[in-house]
Structure 1
Amino acid sequence: MTEQSQPTPGQRVERLRRAAGLSRERLAGLASLSPTTVKFIENGKRSLTLRAAQQLAPPLGVRDLGDLFGPTVTLSLDGHPSHPAVEDVRRALTAWHVTMTGEPASTDYLRGASDFAWQTWHTSRQQRTEVGMLLPGLLDATQRAARLHEGPDRRASLALLAQSYHLAQAYLAWHGDRELCWLTVDRGMAAALDADDPLALAQAIWYAAHLLRSTGRGDEAIERLREARGPIEPQVADGPAEYAEMLADLYLCSALTRARAGDQGAWADWQSARDVVHQVLPADYVGLRTRVSRPLVEVYAVMCAVDLGDPDEAQRRAHALDPATIPSTERQGRHYVELARSADLEGAREATLHLLTKADSTSPETVRYSPPARDMLTRLATEAPASIRADAVELAERAGINL
């Protein structure tokens, strides 16, 4: 067999799956991947990553990953690109202060600092760089306050400390250090439990569910999200708007988790979130940290459709959604990446490049650090028609991709 006729990694996965007598759904379950992911790997619409290959190998009876990648594929062990501020954030997370003295910052000051950091995350075009500068100081200040305050101020400080850990998780999510992400989840959960605040606990579970889903524990994530809704739902009718915001966000997270497992039940959870937002919250409501709002609900609809492998539905959902109405620069950038994924599923390479260019102009760091965006750009830079390849190479290089 010549080099030109070598099967692609996706074709190798499909041949081995068929030889093992496995359906895509069965292989996906055994490998802790979604059926849609397996489908896209096999048909070449998603690259076979080293992590996915390691998950697929045991059920396929593969002992040498070369059997999946073939002799012409070079594997990089560099992982996801790391942001320059990761080490500063790591030091803040692992600086265990045995003793603390002095006066802690007031809870009003800390709340303002936390709100400013979250506002920066959602409004800056370079959100990771700007938040990376704020996070170490915010983590230190909230850690001190949780140790030094007493009574109600301590509980309020613990809730704010949990928010600092959540922001650290959002910052770290795409930088390849899974252990550090788990640390933020565990610390955030512990702080929320000590705060004895149902909203803080629900938010901690929401963040934990995202990491559970990304590590193949989607069923566990859905169960934790269901449990979190229990204390929140009774407060929605008469309580502060934050309870309705949190309930909607829990449903949205559950919808996305189901979609990534290929479960059409995602739409029922999505509809529950939409009902809460449209029936309980004011029409112009925007959550400070979550950005829960009417436009965000529609963003999730596009994401669910893409992850369910339905580009027609994704495009239909996106048709009426003006990206400029999405109340977060970071989420706008991610929305353009989702639209690019939808175009990529249909093999529309010009549209894929156009949408990734829009994402880059909206939020360059979203393209630079987003694994799906980097995957699409890498393929476009090497496989796109000559008429757009130079533009794809330029965008890939701007995003820091070594071709």
Structure 2
Amino acid sequence: MSSDATPVPYTQPLVFGQRMQVLRTRRGMSRTVMAGLVGKSTSWVKQVERGDIGVPSLSMILRIAEVLRVRDLSDLTGDQTLPTHLFIGPGHPKLSAVRTAIDTFPFTADREAPPSANLSARMSRAWSARHCAANHREVVGTLLPDLIRDAQLAVCQTDRAADRRAAQAALAEVYSLCQFFLAYQPDTALYWRVVERRMVAAQESEDPHAIGVAAWLAAEAHRDSGHYDAADAVTADTLRYLEPLLADAATDVRAIVGALKMAAGYTAARRGDTGTAWHLWDQAAGVAKKLPADYFHPVTSFSRAIMGAHAVTIAVELHAGGESVRQVAAADATTIPSRPRRARHRIEEARGYHIDGQPEAAIATLSKAYEAAPDTVQYNGYARRIVLEEAESKSPARRRRAAELAARIGVLAA
């Protein structure tokens, strides 16, 4: 077998380099792309995979795990004794109740579904609570079980076609809120079940906005799983459907078109395609400029205020340290009204500082993210990776600050 061939898993225990090669090829990532993302040469990647170079340092292992979206470090290192979950956070106490509501089949005779106006008002309050609460998973997890059951029941009990389409749109919106709650929790099957159900409900609704939101969230799910082609397909197909409708479209539909362009830009950046990523950012920024100055999309957060944060993420995903820090300086986190979205932006800022070799600034910025929304930091793999790496720093002061933050977010828990 060629030295460049992918080893067959499980025929014998795999060493680090072989595991890295298997995970890289599963992602469809070339050695050249991976080398650029971890800041090494293509020959270095090849030497590690062939075993010519020993196991890298912890900081490089964590960087490789981030690039390959390894959810558990033991999948990369082969050490099962101390698994460290990066991209799967802890199971939330409300997860079981939400799972039960999703999996329960409603019967139309059980009780009468609430009026559509009641569901709509409750969903508005739920989105508001999600954006305003520091412990947003706790708040949303409390509201979701009843919302899921009532929205499912509303679909079952509608008789008229128009009412059924409206009920499906409401159900799709509830599933959208579910996806935010379920993201990075230890039930991947449930997460994808919600993604699929929301797509079906949105299509049944025939509502352009519901379809756009469902596509945006599906693209997020595909990209975070490393399925870049699927993410590109869903954004491209949905944009082809929505863009001819823009002339007479409502603000929410125009915003979701901008959000989809931005989602495609994220995927391009994750692939390492600099030109396409920034071109799509420019297109999304053009859409944002035409929105009302105070507009903020409740699901995607798309708005004028968010474009600076998006620019930071594009630069970070491209692993451009200097450009990341330049975009951090240009962005204004205080204009982002949503606490979890503001926390996520702070995490992206921290990633930018870390890539640029400014670990002190990275840890300080993660502390700001924690202040904005602890729930966001606790479940974010990038934040966990930076804290883990700096908890091993040679600087006693930085090691202490990282360890304190690690204790607060539970990052070192097995």
Q: TM-score, normalised by structure 1?
A: 0.84
Distance in 2 (CA, whole Å) between partners of 1:276 and 1:120 is: 27
* Equivalent position SS for 2:247: coil
Cα shift at 1:281: 1.3
Task: Indicate how the Cα distance of structure 1 residues 347 and 107 shifts in structure 2: closer, same or farther if over 3 A, else same.
Answer: same
User: What amino acid is aligned across from residue 29 of structure 1 in structure 2?
Assistant: M
Q: Which structure 2 residues correspond to residues 324-343 of structure 1 after superposition, within 5 A?
A: 324-343=334-353
Count residues with an aligned counterpart.
375
Cα shift at 1:100: 3.6
Task: Indicate how the Cα distance of structure 1 residues 101 and 14 shifts in structure 2: closer, same or farther if over 3 A, else same.
Answer: closer
Distance in 2 (CA, whole Å) between partners of 1:104 and 1:399 is: 40
Query: Is 1:271–2:282 an aligned residue pair?
Result: yes
Q: Residue 191 of structure 1 aligns with which residue? A: 201
Q: Residue 371 of structure 1 aligns with which residue? A: 381
Q: Which structure 2 residues correspond to residues 40-59 of structure 1 after superposition, within 5 A?
A: 44=59, 46-49=62-65, 52=68
Please say if residues 69 and 226 of structure 2, whose CA atoms lie closer than 8 Å, have aligned partners that are also in contact: no
Q: Which structure 2 residues correspond to residues 1-400 of structure 1 after superposition, within 5 A?
A: 13=17, 29=29, 37-39=37-39, 44=59, 46-49=62-65, 52=68, 69=77, 74-76=81-83, 80-151=89-160, 152-264=162-274, 265-278=276-289, 280-400=290-410
User: What amino acid is aligned across from residue 283 of structure 1 in structure 2?
Assistant: A
User: What amino acid is aligned across from residue 113 of structure 1 in structure 2?
Assistant: R
Cα shift at 1:38: 5.0
Distance in 2 (CA, whole Å) between partners of 1:52 and 1:291 is: 27
* Equivalent position SS for 1:125: coil
More displaced, 96-105 or 225-234?
A: 96-105
User: What amino acid is aligned across from residue 283 of structure 2 in structure 1?
Assistant: S
Distance in 2 (CA, whole Å) between partners of 1:15 and 1:162 is: 39
Cα shift at 1:209: 1.0
Task: Indicate how the Cα distance of structure 1 residues 276 and 34 shifts in structure 2: closer, same or farther if over 3 A, else same.
Answer: farther
More displaced, 228-237 or 393-402?
A: 228-237
CA-to-aligned-CA distance 1:84-135 (integer Å, 9 cap, x gap): 1111111111112245443211111111111111111111111111111111
Cα shift at 1:267: 1.0
Task: Indicate how the Cα distance of structure 1 residues 183 and 384 shifts in structure 2: closer, same or farther if over 3 A, else same.
Answer: farther
Task: Indicate how the Cα distance of structure 1 residues 188 and 27 shifts in structure 2: closer, same or farther if over 3 A, else same.
Answer: closer
Distance in 2 (CA, whole Å) between partners of 1:231 and 1:341 is: 35
Task: Indicate how the Cα distance of structure 1 residues 282 and 80 shifts in structure 2: closer, same or farther if over 3 A, else same.
Answer: closer
Task: Indicate how the Cα distance of structure 1 residues 218 and 244 shifts in structure 2: closer, same or farther if over 3 A, else same.
Answer: same
User: What amino acid is aligned across from residue 398 of structure 1 in structure 2?
Assistant: R
Cα shift at 1:258: 1.1
Cα shift at 1:393: 1.2
Cα shift at 1:47: 4.1
Please say if residues 34 and 260 of structure 1, whose CA atoms lie closer than 8 Å, have aligned partners that are also in contact: no
Task: Indicate how the Cα distance of structure 1 residues 15 and 362 shifts in structure 2: closer, same or farther if over 3 A, else same.
Answer: closer
Task: Indicate how the Cα distance of structure 1 residues 251 and 102 shifts in structure 2: closer, same or farther if over 3 A, else same.
Answer: same
Please say if residues 374 and 409 of structure 2, whose CA atoms lie closer than 8 Å, have aligned partners that are also in contact: yes
CA-to-aligned-CA distance 1:25-45 (integer Å, 9 cap, x gap): 9996269x8665554897845
More displaced, 380-389 or 197-206?
A: 380-389
Distance in 1 (CA, whole Å) between partners of 2:224 and 2:264 is: 13
Q: Residue 6 of structure 2 aligns with which residue? A: none
Q: TM-score, normalised by structure 2?
A: 0.82
Please say if residues 252 and 297 of structure 1, whose CA atoms lie closer than 8 Å, have aligned partners that are also in contact: no
Please say if residues 95 and 141 of structure 2, whose CA atoms lie closer than 8 Å, have aligned partners that are also in contact: yes
Task: Indicate how the Cα distance of structure 1 residues 190 and 103 shifts in structure 2: closer, same or farther if over 3 A, else same.
Answer: same
Q: Percent identity?
A: 33
Distance in 1 (CA, whole Å) between partners of 2:137 and 2:66 is: 26
Please say if residues 259 and 307 of structure 1, whose CA atoms lie closer than 8 Å, have aligned partners that are also in contact: yes
* Equivalent position SS for 2:412: coil
Distance in 2 (CA, whole Å) between partners of 1:325 and 1:289 is: 17
Task: Indicate how the Cα distance of structure 1 residues 346 and 15 shifts in structure 2: closer, same or farther if over 3 A, else same.
Answer: farther
Distance in 1 (CA, whole Å) between partners of 2:34 and 2:230 is: 15
Structure 2 residue runs without a partner (length 5+): 1-14, 46-55
Task: Indicate how the Cα distance of structure 1 residues 362 and 77 shifts in structure 2: closer, same or farther if over 3 A, else same.
Answer: closer
Distance in 2 (CA, whole Å) between partners of 1:77 and 1:316 is: 32
Please say if residues 28 and 35 of structure 1, whose CA atoms lie closer than 8 Å, have aligned partners that are also in contact: no
Distance in 2 (CA, whole Å) between partners of 1:330 and 1:175 is: 16
Structure 1 residue runs without a partner (length 5+): 1-10, 56-64
